[in-house]
Amino acid sequence: MTELVEPRESIWGSGYLGVTVGALALVFLAATESLAVTTVMPLVSRELDGAMLYAAAFSATLATSVIGMVAVGAWCDRASPLAPLATAVGLFVVGLLVAGLAASMPLLVVGRLLQGLGVGGQVVALYVVVARVYPSGLHGPLFAAFSAAWVIPSLVGPFAAGLVAQYLHWRWVFLGVAALTAGAFALVVARLRGRDMHIAEPSAARVGPRLWCAVAVAAGVLGLSLAGEAGSWALVVVAASVAVILPSVRPLLPAGTLRAARGLPSVVLMRALIAGTLFGSEVYLPYMLIDGYSFSPAWAGLGLTASAIAWAIASAVQGRYGDRLGNRRITLLGSAQLISATVIATATALWHLNPAIVIVGWLLAGGGMGLMYPRLTVLTLAYSTPQRQGFNSAALSIFDAVGSATTIAVMGLVFTSLTTTDAGFPVVFAIGAVLAILAVIPGLRLGHGHETAG
């Protein structure tokens, strides 16, 4: 008698297809917004006379995302993630509308603050949806698909954003994404409604103190981003901001994160360091191409496009072969690429090399992140009990945001303190290279959860 073999489960199977498509649509649009805004922000800054708030426009979103992550993470540990996801998407859309209609740079930063509340909560809610809906054996392929959702935006997003800014107006970059996000969420609601995503024993942890810590962290990060406007008091503002951030962020993270304890703490710490490296550097990559090489906004976006394509390809490799490669090998391969990319960017800026060198070299940054970034998400869920899925997912995203925002703020302060952009670009890329090297330390202490379970 022939033995029947059950087909292998897939994220594209009939039981998961609708949720997969809906979740990927939201990731796709978040990617579009991120890449597009990075491309057009030099034009926004110029039109709204907001050079001093250039770094703040990026770090503001990352800072308030911490509050959204903590609130939504706690909410998800007590209930279904659908209502928290709806709230987060609503805040994101409102923030896009405010930014798109802003008449001044400070008002645009307000819009970016609202976007941060929304996008931070959205990320955590989607992670919890993955944990509650999909078996652990599908987490790797799904997070690889999330990373691959950057492919289409990376192919057309930066270039299209540049074209929109040139031939229509940069405002439509914000307003267009707002409309599309509302439509995508309608699809998600249709696919998730009716699914029971509650847990048997909701978390009873106190939320109030963690929310206050999140607000303090956000305030500290914003203080860092605005330190450049403090004149001779800039160093005092930086010191005060760091003094607020460090004690406030510790209750939001797994114990031992700041000392790279083995396991989940090192997963969270490494994510913060590599996020700071890439996202901090990418703020200045199109800036350098536009300011130093007279690229148009559309062509300046090609550097980000190449990197994101490499990220998606490497993510697909990690999703398929990640367990076979192992965490240590992924760390070494990914870190080597990220370090190489930032060193190439530093050399290009320092010696005014052909811009093709940094564009091609930035492929390595995307490849390294594609190997490491989704793997760290898989490991986080592998280390999480149902009652800690929200907290741990939030912790991963929180320190990711804090690492990115702090790096962007410090880079912005250094950049504006130097007399010329010719001096500033090499320094900010060198800061990224140092962080990439430091990320190897927790990367070799990741350990193993049950991420290889089928």
Q: What is the per-residue pLDDT for 174?
A: 85
The three-state secondary structure class of 411 is helix
Q: What is the per-residue pLDDT for 159?
A: 67
Indicate the pLDDT class of residue 161, thresholds 50, 70 and 90: confident
Q: What is the per-residue pLDDT for 1?
A: 43
**In this model, does residue 31 exceed pLDDT 80?**
no
Q: What is the per-residue pLDDT for 397?
A: 81
Q: Compute the average pLDDT of residues 144-172.
A: 72
User: Which one has a higher pLDDT value, 288 or 397?
Assistant: 288
If you average pLDDT over every residue of the chain, what do you get? Answer: 83
**In this model, does residue 105 exceed pLDDT 70?**
yes
**In this model, does residue 3 exceed pLDDT 50?**
no
Contact 353, 288 (CB under 8 A): no
Q: Compute the average pLDDT of residues 280-303.
A: 83
CA-closest candidate to residue 379, choices 453, 278, 324, 298: 453
Write the CB contacts of 322 (distance below 8 Å, at least 6 apart in sequence).
140, 330, 375, 378
User: Which one has a higher pLDDT value, 272 or 22?
Assistant: 272
**In this model, does residue 228 exceed pLDDT 70?**
no
Indicate the pLDDT class of residue 449, thresholds 50, 70 and 90: low
pTM above 0.85, yes or no: no
pLDDT digits 0-9 by tens, 38-81: 777 777 877 787 777 777 787 778 778 888 888 888 888 777 88
Q: What is the per-residue pLDDT for 38?
A: 74
DSSP for residue 232 = G
Rounded CA gap, 347 and 217, in Å? 34
Q: What is the per-residue pLDDT for 6?
A: 45
pLDDT digits 0-9 by tens, 108-137: 888 998 998 898 888 888 888 887 878 777
Domains plus CATH for the chain? 17-195+203-443 (1.20.1250.20)
Give the whole-number percent of the chain exceeding pLDDT 90.
27
User: Which one has a higher pLDDT value, 358 or 309?
Assistant: 358
Q: Which two tokens stand for residue 166?
A: 């040139």
Indicate the pLDDT class of residue 4, thresholds 50, 70 and 90: very low
| Length of the chain counted residue by residue | 454
pLDDT digits 0-9 by tens, 76-86: 877 788 888 88
Q: What is the per-residue pLDDT for 262?
A: 94
Cα angle, residue 374 at apex, residues 60 and 369 outer, rounded to 5°? 70
pLDDT digits 0-9 by tens, 229-245: 677 787 788 888 889 99
Q: What is the per-residue pLDDT for 357?
A: 94
Indicate the pLDDT class of residue 5, thresholds 50, 70 and 90: very low
**In this model, does residue 296 exceed pLDDT 60?**
yes
Q: What is the per-residue pLDDT for 2?
A: 43
pLDDT digits 0-9 by tens, 315-366: 888 878 888 888 999 999 999 999 999 999 999 999 999 999 999 999 999 9
| CA dist 270 → 138, 190, 263, 437, 439 (Å) | 23, 36, 11, 11, 5
